């Protein structure tokens, strides 16, 4: 979802994530009872102006517990890869990423079983049966278009093959960005399998600007008219649209079919052998607290993971209207987790990327 350049939330971390290992920030040398918790996360929940859901949650958490949050942001796949590289010298306490990368983290034994307080109110489909991860913010895959240049959003995938979209379409890189990987999942669903999906994406390449490691950077290009269409997700793009008046969210369909989407939640897990495991558990509990969940739509522009939290704010109402009439399907995450590399390789072969 998401950038592949790991970067810190400076106001929270107080040190550069890329300046060296996190031990430079006091990570590995800290006592287990240190008042700190380190979060590796896919981007999208932090506001550009310090007004995102993470900004609110981390600030409130620190005020209530005295525990500082050190935050490192990256692409959905990259934060998992970084956690894997550090397996023998664990730096992160909490990992937040998107499917299928959260499932991959669990399969790589990077996560420790922990059911946060409030997770009993999360739907079974949105958490691991073995409690290795739980969704903290629900979200859905989508596309964005420039409302000024395109008064009506394209309806079909096939519309994007028109010559008027040449060098005006871009989607983030599958296998690196969570939303880019979601493009493959959605295309395979809508076109009925890997081969027809790759055939379509091969055709789309004639209009595609090229790969992008960051999905979040595409929306500003769409708002400015540099692009007409790009991929994204509802939570991130809805939040961005508050400052980008030309940004519109839509859900592509195969010609003759229904508009579809699927859940793409931010899922969180306690990192195995986390240096500050107790603090990681406290933060996970806090993220799923009723108060924090009420802010998911009001502040973050997403959907509460807890089903007993019924938000009635203006954002929640607008989000519900946006999703009206869109069919939601459930991907076979087991298959995707097992075969993701082969799907990404097929995409590379089809597009020459």
Give me the pLDDT at residue 76, please.
86
Distance CA 282, CA 318 (A): 32
Statement: residue 19 has pLDDT above 60: no
And the tokens for 264? 């793409």
Model pTM?
0.82
Q: What is the pLDDT of residues 236-289, one digit of tens each?
A: 999 899 899 999 999 999 999 999 999 999 999 999 999 999 999 999 999 999
Q: Which residue has the tokens 């959905």?
A: 76
Confidence band, pLDDT 50/70/90 cuts, at residue 4: very low
Q: What pLDDT digit, counting tens, does each position of 81-95 carry?
A: 999 999 999 999 999
Q: What's the rounded Cα separation, in Å, for the pair 69 and 10?
A: 11
pLDDT category at 220 given cuts 50, 70, 90 is very high
**Rounded to the nearest 5 degrees, what angle is found at the Cα of 68, between the Cα atoms of 67 and 71?**
135
Under a CB-based contact definition with an 8 Å cutoff, are residues 149 and 168 in contact?
A: no
Q: Rounded CA gap, 91 and 27, in Å?
A: 6
pLDDT of 195: 97
pLDDT at 16 over 90: no
Per-residue pLDDT averaged across 167-186, rounded?
93
């Amino acid at each position: 979802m998401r950038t592949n350049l790991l970067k810190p939330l400076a106001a929270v971390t107080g040190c550069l994530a890329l300046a060296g290992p996190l031990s430079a920030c006091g990570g590995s040398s800290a006592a287990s009872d240190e008042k700190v918790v380190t979060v590796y996360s896919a981007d999208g929940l932090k506001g550009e102006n310090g007004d995102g859901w993470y900004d609110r949650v981390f600030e409130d958490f620190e005020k209530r517990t005295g525990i500082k949050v050190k935050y490192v942001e990256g692409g959905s796949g990259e934060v998992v890869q970084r956690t894997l590289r550090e397996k023998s010298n664990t730096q992160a306490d909490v990992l937040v990423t998107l499917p299928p990368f959260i499932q991959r983290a669990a399969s790589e034994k990077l996560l420790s079983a922990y059911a946060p307080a409030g997770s009993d109110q999360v739907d079974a489909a949105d958490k691991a049966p073995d409690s290795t991860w739980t969704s903290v913010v629900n979200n859905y895959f989508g596309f964005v278009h420039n409302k000024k240049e395109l008064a009506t959003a394209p309806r079909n995938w096939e519309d994007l093959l028109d010559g008027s979209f040449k060098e005006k379409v871009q989607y983030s890189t599958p296998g690196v960005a969570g939303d880019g990987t979601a493009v493959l999942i959605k295309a395979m669903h809508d076109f009925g399998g890997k081969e027809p999906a790759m055939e379509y994406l091969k055709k789309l390449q004639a209009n595609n600007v090229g790969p992008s490691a960051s999905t979040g950077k595409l929306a500003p290009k769409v708002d400015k008219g540099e692009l007409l269409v790009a991929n994204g997700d509802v939570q991130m793009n809805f939040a961005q649209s508050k400052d980008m008046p030309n940004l519109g969210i839509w859900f592509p369909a195969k010609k003759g079919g229904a508009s579809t989407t699927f859940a793409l939640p931010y899922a969180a897990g306690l990192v195995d052998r986390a240096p500050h495991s107790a603090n990681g558990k406290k933060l996970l509990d806090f993220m799923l607290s009723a108060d924090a969940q009420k802010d998911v739509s009001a502040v973050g522009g997403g959907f509460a993971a807890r089903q007993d939290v019924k938000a009635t704010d203006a954002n929640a109402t607008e989000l519900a209207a946006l999703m009206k009439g869109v069919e939601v399907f459930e991907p076979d995450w087991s298959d995707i987790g097992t075969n993701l590399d082969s799907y990404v390789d097929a995409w590379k072969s089809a597009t020459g990327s």
